[in-house]
Amino acid sequence: MIQALRGTRDILPEEVGYWQLIEATVKEILGRAVYQEIRAPIFEQTDLFERGIGEATDVVGKEMYTFKDRGDRSLTLRPEGTAGVVRAYISNKLHAQGGVQRLWYTGPMFRYERPQAGRQRQFHQVGLELLGSDAPRADVEVIALATDILQTLGLKNLELDINSVGDNSDRANYREALVSYFEPYKDDLDRDSQARLTGNPLRILDSKDPQTQKIAQNAPKIIEHLSTESKKHFDTVLQLLTDLNIKYQINHCLVRGLDYYTHTAFEIKSDDLGAQATVCGGGRYDGLVGELGGPQTQAVGWAIGMERLVLLLQKLRSNPVNNPDLYIVSRGEVAEAQSLILAQKLRSAGLSVELDLSGSGLGKQFKRADRSGAVACLVLGDAEAENQTVNLKWLASGEQQAIAQADLLAMSRELESKETFGQKASLTDLLKTKIAKLKD
Ligand code: ATP
Ligand code: MG
C-alpha cells in the first residue's frame, strides 16, 4: 500500500472545520482592513529563495526542497510566502500603482525538517505583506491584525515578543560589539554559532542551544546601538502598541539576521502549546524588494503557522461542523425521483439539504436524519408525491406538519433574498417561524 510521505498529513473532514474557520476569520478581518489576496506559484527559481531568505539561514542551508526539472533548471518548492509575493510584486509592477499595497496569501509551504507535533514537511501558512510604507503605524497595523485574528479565534494566552534590528549601519556597529563580547566564549558556543561569529554574529542570539542561549543572555543589546532615527521608529511602534492596548515584551535576542530585515522584528507565542509555541513570526524588511531587483520599497509582514493554530484551537473548542438545514427521506419510486428535484430546488433557494440515497426503510432513514444534525426532516412518500406536498418533521420536538412543496420553496426563496452574510444560522429559525405561522 502506498503511504503518505513523512512530514505530510491528510486534513480530514473531522478536522477541516478548524481550517475553514481560520480561513473565514482571516478573510473577514483582513478584508475589513482592505488587504487583497494574492496567489503566487508554489515553486519558483531556487535563486529567489537563496537571495530572498539568505544563504546563511537554516531554511536555505538545510531545509529546502530543491530539484532539477526536465529542462535542467533548479527549482524549489516555496519554504515561505514572502519571497514569492515580493517577486510577484516586482514582476507585475504592482509598485507602479504608487501608494501602499496590502496583500495576503495562504497555502502550503515545504521544508525538509524533522517532523514532530506542529512541525511538518508540508505545512500551511497564512501571511500578509504591507508594501510601500516606512511608517511605524504600518508595523503596528500588521501586528494588530495578527492579534485580532488570533483573539477572534479565541486564543487568550498570547505573548508578543518584539525587538528592533535597526538598519544596516546600526547593525554594522552592533556586530562589532557582539563579536568582542562573544570572542572570549568562543569555545563554549555551539558549532553553528562558532561559524556565525565571523559571518553573521547576530544569528548567534537566536541559537536554540541552551549553553549558547545562556551566554547570549548578557550580550550587548541591539537597541543600545540604534541610531536616533531607528530608536525613534522603535519607540513609536511601542507607543502605538500601548495606545492599542496590545501588551508586548522586548526580547533582545529576537533577530532576523539578514541584511534586508530592518527595524521591527516580532513573534507571537501561545503558552498553551508547549515546546513549539510560536504561531506567528514577522517583521520589517525594507531591503528585500531592492535586493530582488525592484525599486527600493519599505515593507512589513508576518506569517502564521496554521497547523500550530489548529492544534491550539482543538484545545479550545470542538470541530466547527456544517450541519444541513434539512434532511430529506423518501420511499417509493415516484417519491424518490421527486425528492431529488425538491432537494435541488431547495438548495438553489439557499438551504443546505442532505438527501438520503439509501432506499432503505423509513425507520433507518429517520435515524440518519437524527444523526445529521439537521433542524428538520422532510418526508416524501407516495401520498405526498402525488399531492406535491411534504411532511415536515422538526427533529428536536418530533412535531410534524404537512406543507405544500411550492409553499416551502416560496418561503425559502423569500428568506434567501433577505439573507445577509453571517446570518445563515438564523435562516432555519426564520423558516421555522414562517412555517409555524402557516399553521395558524
Ligand atoms: P521555528 O523556529 O519554529 O522553526 P521559524 O522561525 O522557522 O519557526 P517562520 O519561518 O518564521 O518560522 O514561519 C512562521 C510560522 O510558520 C512559525 O511561527 C510556525 O508557526 C510556522 N512554521 C514554520 N515552520 C513550520 C513547520 N515545519 N511546520 C509547521 N509550521 C511551521
Ligand atoms: Mg524553522
Strand order in the sheet with 400-404: 353-355, 326-330, 376-380, 389-394, 400-404
Going from the Cα of 301 to the center of ligand 1, the distance in angstroms, rounded, reads 14
Assess if CATH 3.30.43.10 describes domain 13-167+227-316: no
**194: its cell numbers:** 562558532
- CA 181/CA 363 separation, integer angstroms: 79
Q: Which residues of 100-114 are buried (b: 16+ CB within 10 A; e: fewer)?
A: bbbbbbbbebbbebe
User: Mean pLDDT across the stretch 245-272?
Assistant: 89
Going from the Cα of 79 to the center of ligand 2, the distance in angstroms, rounded, reads 10
> Which residue has the CA at smallest separation from atom 8 of ligand 1?
278
CA-nearest of 194, 196, 299 to 257 is: 196
Average pLDDT, the chain: 92
Q: Judge whether residue 127 has pLDDT over 90.
A: yes
CA-nearest of 380, 386, 363, 369 to 324 is: 369
Say what the pLDDT of residue 420 is. 46
Say what the pLDDT of residue 422 is. 40
Going from the Cα of 115 to the center of ligand 2, the distance in angstroms, rounded, reads 11
Locate the DSSP E strands across 52-174. Answer: 65-68, 74-77, 101-110, 122-131, 158-164
- Regarding predicted confidence, which is higher, 272 or 149? 149
Query: For 190-332, where are the alpha helices, taking DSSP H only?
Result: 191-196, 210-217, 228-243, 288-291, 306-316
Given a contact cutoff of 8 angstroms between Cβ atoms, the answer to whether 220 and 178 are in contact is yes
Which of 329-343, 359-373, 400-414 is predicted least confidently?
400-414
- Regarding predicted confidence, which is higher, 339 or 117? 339
Which of 312-321, 325-334, 351-360 is predicted least confidently?
312-321
The pTM (predicted TM-score) of the whole model is 0.90
Given a contact cutoff of 8 angstroms between Cβ atoms, the answer to whether 157 and 272 are in contact is yes
CA 67 to chain centre: 27
- Ligand nearest to C-alpha 265: 1
- Ligand nearest to C-alpha 255: 1
Give the pLDDT confidence of 383-408 residue by residue, as tens digits: 999 999 999 999 988 999 999 999 99
Say what the pLDDT of residue 403 is. 92
- Ligand nearest to C-alpha 267: 1
Give the pLDDT confidence of 243-253 residue by residue, as tens digits: 999 999 999 99
Residue 388 neighbours by CB under 8 Å, 6+ apart:
404, 405, 406
Distances (CA, A) of 110 to 22, 80, 88: 20, 8, 19
For a substitution probing ligand 1, which of 5, 22, 123, 255 has the most ligand atoms within 8 Å of its CB?
123
- CA 129/CA 283 separation, integer angstroms: 10
CA-nearest of 291, 262, 298 to 171 is: 262
> Which residue has the CA at smallest separation from atom 28 of ligand 1?
119
Which of 44-48, 51-55, 391-395, 424-428 holds the top average pLDDT?
Answer: 44-48
- Domain range list for the chain: 13-167+227-316, 326-439
Say what the pLDDT of residue 29 is. 98
Say what the pLDDT of residue 60 is. 92
Q: Judge whether residue 257 has pLDDT over 70.
A: no
Q: Judge whether residue 3 has pLDDT over 70.
A: yes
> Which residue has the CA at smallest separation from atom 23 of ligand 1?
305
Pairing of strands 249-250, 158-164: parallel
> Which residue has the CA at smallest separation from atom 21 of ligand 1?
305
- CA 328/CA 269 separation, integer angstroms: 46
Q: Dihedral through CA 160, CA 166, CA 170, CA 176, nearest 10?
A: 40
Assess if CATH 3.40.50.800 describes domain 326-439: yes
Q: What percentage of residues in the chain have a pLDDT greater than 90?
A: 78
- CA 201/CA 217 separation, integer angstroms: 14
Say what the pLDDT of residue 421 is. 39
User: Mean pLDDT across the stretch 162-178?
Assistant: 93
Which is the closest atom of ligand 1 to the Cα of 125?
16
Say what the pLDDT of residue 318 is. 85
User: Mean pLDDT across the stretch 174-182?
Assistant: 93
Going from the Cα of 56 to the center of ligand 1, the distance in angstroms, rounded, reads 17
- CA 306/CA 113 separation, integer angstroms: 17
Say what the pLDDT of residue 196 is. 87
- CA 85/CA 94 separation, integer angstroms: 11
Ligand 1: lining residues by beta carbon, under 6 Å: 80, 111, 113, 118-120, 123, 125, 276, 278-281, 303, 305, 307-308
- Ligand nearest to C-alpha 258: 1
